[in-house]
Chain A
């Protein structure tokens, strides 16, 4: 579904991504783990068209999409819940969800997706008319994921959805990710919480200072000594 080959991304003179290749297949949850500054968010932002790559290619369903404008990427079916949530603080929860479906005009379908999001995150239903900026961090995170789902994506990019959440909520968000995937959405998940991510994912890539250091089945990586030492605190 998504195929990245020899991707290079720079910020001015700083090389953030140094020629990575990765692949996400239809129906999978793939996780991209790595320590701070490894380049995970940079990769997602490049897929979403917020950043332009220096070289390399990104192919989505057989179509080259590197360097395509951000809004066109959404139209192709890739939605992202970005790092730091980035909800629209002065708008209500309702309006935020509405904006998630900005490019769609299939009213009935949108209504169904809204129902589904509110079922996944009942908290949002309670807060539906509250200004998003006044919600707690965890609630904002749910909104960010819900908003991305409102785009009815073929591929959902999640950038640290568990960041700053209480342990109970972390568990809940990973269960939700699994549920979203079971309902048919392919997911590329970026996480600091490597253990939880590996538990929910089918396959994983380990990113270190802009290069892929390891990749394989999530199950295998959990039991890999090197991974355990570096990312699972063992």
Chain B
């Protein structure tokens, strides 16, 4: 007994000191860079955070769905890709808007609503036809199904967009403004203007509304939720709708700020967003946002700082951090291990 507890605390001590050491090194690296070139530091941070909020929109879709039915929805990244294709079609093909103008902004805003509705509908449909009947099946079955759905959506992406990347003109202004030698592109400002209200709105829905209450109850115990009179199927559909809507907004933002669509974008960004969700503690909403912003920031700093590993190491850095975190804190940054009383 005494033996095992000392061994346990020794392990804890090692874990603590390694974690402290790593965090210390990271801060040391940041400090050097900050001193060496403050403007570059802030520049990279801003780019990083604006990527981070985009990841957050997608990460929330993973974490919402995982929270409620414990499924890693592999098709979610691809839904984001589809949102981008929809935005390109809506703005450039249907409304023929290719330059910044008042009409362009109006169409952009219209498209935000339409893309959110489009992706929400598709996500609800996916749950209804692919996942729902597997809800009581072993966990592996819906997981494999999600992989299948991912392939189907990518195939649709190829049909819609072609097998290579396509570039588009944006209706968003391309300039930037400068605050003490830090350049802030207008598109970054617009990203924040779209994302932050969405995140606040989302938090409000989950924390304060009746639907949100039903979601949280269903996430904790679906049968108990039924006994409260909660329509569990409807609640799960609603959750997929929310996640889908956010992916739609992310798709539009990505397509308009980068001017790029490609059938495999969902795979790349989806993986990063999923990593964010795991980093923050999957199933935890604030965790997903925090994880996404951190990953965006880390990428931004690593890519942009004078002393850094550079862009080609970006993914490696992100996943190294993830692996370290999983070793030391498997529940993620904000995930709490829940002790259940029996």
Q: Which of B210, B213, B217, B227 lies in contact with A48, CB distance below 8 A?
A: B227
Supply 10 further A-B pairs (C-beta < 8 A) apart from A100-B228, A102-B217, A135-B341: A50-B223, A50-B226, A69-B226, A89-B338, A89-B341, A102-B213, A103-B228, A133-B338, A136-B341, A147-B228
Q: Which of B220, B230, B338, B340 lies in contact with A102, CB distance below 8 A?
A: B230
B232 located at the interface, meaning its Cβ lies under 8 Å from any Cβ of chain A in the complex: yes
B217 and A99 contact, CB distance less than 8 A = yes
B228 and A86 contact, CB distance less than 8 A = no
Which residues of A sit under 8 angstroms from B338, Cβ to Cβ? 89-90, 133
A123 located at the interface, meaning its Cβ lies under 8 Å from any Cβ of chain B in the complex: no
B214 located at the interface, meaning its Cβ lies under 8 Å from any Cβ of chain A in the complex: yes
User: A71 with B229: in contact, given A99-B213, A140-B341 (CB under 8 Å)?
Assistant: yes
Which positions 188-241 of chain B face chain A at CB distance < 8 Å? 210, 213-214, 216-217, 220-221, 223-232
Interface range for B: 20 to 34
A-B contact pairs, 10 of them (CB 8 A): A48-B226, A50-B226, A69-B231, A71-B229, A75-B229, A91-B220, A95-B213, A99-B217, A102-B230, A133-B341
Which residues of A sit under 8 angstroms from B340, Cβ to Cβ? 89, 133
Q: Which of A50, A74, A95, A140 lies in contact with B229, CB distance below 8 A?
A: A74
**Residue from the set B210, B226, B227 with the largest chain A CB neighbour count within 10 Å:** B227
User: A71 with B221: in contact, given A91-B216, A102-B214, A133-B340 (CB under 8 Å)?
Assistant: no
B339 and A82 contact, CB distance less than 8 A = no
Which residues of B sit under 8 angstroms from A80, Cβ to Cβ? 227
Q: Which residue of B lies closest to A99 (CB)?
A: B228
A49 and B226 contact, CB distance less than 8 A = yes
Q: Mark B133-160, 1 if CB is under 8 A from A, else 0.
A: 0000000000000000000000000000
Which residues of A sit under 8 angstroms from B342, Cβ to Cβ? 84
Separation of A80 and B227 alpha carbons in the complex (Å) = 6
Separation of A90 and B133 alpha carbons in the complex (Å) = 28
A88 located at the interface, meaning its Cβ lies under 8 Å from any Cβ of chain B in the complex: yes
State the total of A-B contacts with C-beta under 8 angstroms.
78
Q: Which of A75, A79, A140 lies in contact with B227, CB distance below 8 A?
A: A79
Q: What is the CB-to-nearest-CB distance from B91 to chain A, in angstroms, rounded to a whole number?
A: 41
A102 and B229 contact, CB distance less than 8 A = yes
A70 located at the interface, meaning its Cβ lies under 8 Å from any Cβ of chain B in the complex: yes
B216 and A102 contact, CB distance less than 8 A = no
B227 and A74 contact, CB distance less than 8 A = yes
Q: Which residue of A lies closest to B223 (CB)?
A: A50
A137 located at the interface, meaning its Cβ lies under 8 Å from any Cβ of chain B in the complex: yes
User: A86 with B224: in contact, given A71-B232, A102-B214, A102-B229 (CB under 8 Å)?
Assistant: yes
Q: Mark B81-121, 1 if CB is under 8 A from A, else 0.
A: 00000000000000000000000000000000000000000
A98 located at the interface, meaning its Cβ lies under 8 Å from any Cβ of chain B in the complex: yes
Q: What is the CB-to-nearest-CB distance from A161 to chain B, in angstroms, rounded to a whole number?
A: 14
